[in-house]
Amino acid sequence: MAQAEEVRSQKSGAGGKARRPTVPGAHRIEALISEERIRARVAELGRQIARDYRGRDLVVVCVLKGSFVFTSDLVRAIDLPLAVDFLRMSSYGGGTESSGSVRLEFDVTQPLKGKDVIVVEDIIDTGNTVRALLDTLSAKKPASLAVCALLHKPEREQVHVPIDYLGFTIPNKFVVGYGLDHAGKHRNLPFVGVVG
Ligand code: IMP
Ligand code: MG
């Protein structure tokens, strides 16, 4: 696995301005990983994937909804001909705790048999979602299957899953932004922040 950047604490890791949403009654959100830091790390991951997958038949699978921002930046950082597909798993309701049960809500629309698949997740928390994703996708008989995640909270691990490409390890805090939500909101923030 690539060496992920470690984000130690809110203060040392932020490097960007906290932003108070203008929506009345919204939580205060403190930046944990700045837009600049994300951009630099995504560019590195893209270069690494391009090196690793040159000459292969790559399909990048975006796990909706949380990975849509990360995937859109990541695929543009991979200088290779590739295909993109989407699926949706759900494990959370509106809260901040995993329900433990993971459901496939909709599936990819192309055969993955014989393809080199990278599944892109926003965050690996307990590991249950990635475990279910690997089971679902490996049943489609890809030539290879790798996991790319923007964030990992190692303290929360219940199920150990392989992570081939990782952006950042973060402390055990509930984060939003750059695709991640709290009760459906804040996916549009350009940085990763902690709901206060
Ligand atoms: P896991 O199955 O517990 O690993 O959870 C993975 C999914 O839970 C992620 O894909 C997210 O959708 C959601 N999730 C876990 N932690 C967070 C968080 O801190 N903020 C937002 N969503 C989270
Ligand atoms: Mg998710």
| Predicted local confidence at residue 150, as pLDDT | 98
Catalytic residue among 73, 116, 122, 125: 125
Q: How far is the CA of 181 from the centre of ligand 2 (A)?
A: 9
Q: How far is the CA of 31 from the centre of ligand 1 (A)?
A: 18
Mean pLDDT within 109-134: 97
Nearest to 59 by CA among 152, 146, 179, 149: 146
Each residue of 88-120: pLDDT tens digit? 987 655 455 555 688 899 999 999 999 999 999
Q: Do residues 147 and 121 make contact, with C-beta atoms less than 8 angstroms apart?
A: yes
Ligand 1 and 127: CB distance under 6 A? yes
Each residue of 16-27: pLDDT tens digit? 455 555 554 456
- The reply to whether 107 belongs to the active site is no
Place of tokens 């906290």: 18
Q: How far is the CA of 182 from the centre of ligand 1 (A)?
A: 10
Nearest to 165 by CA among 102, 121, 128, 113: 121
pLDDT at 135 over 50: yes
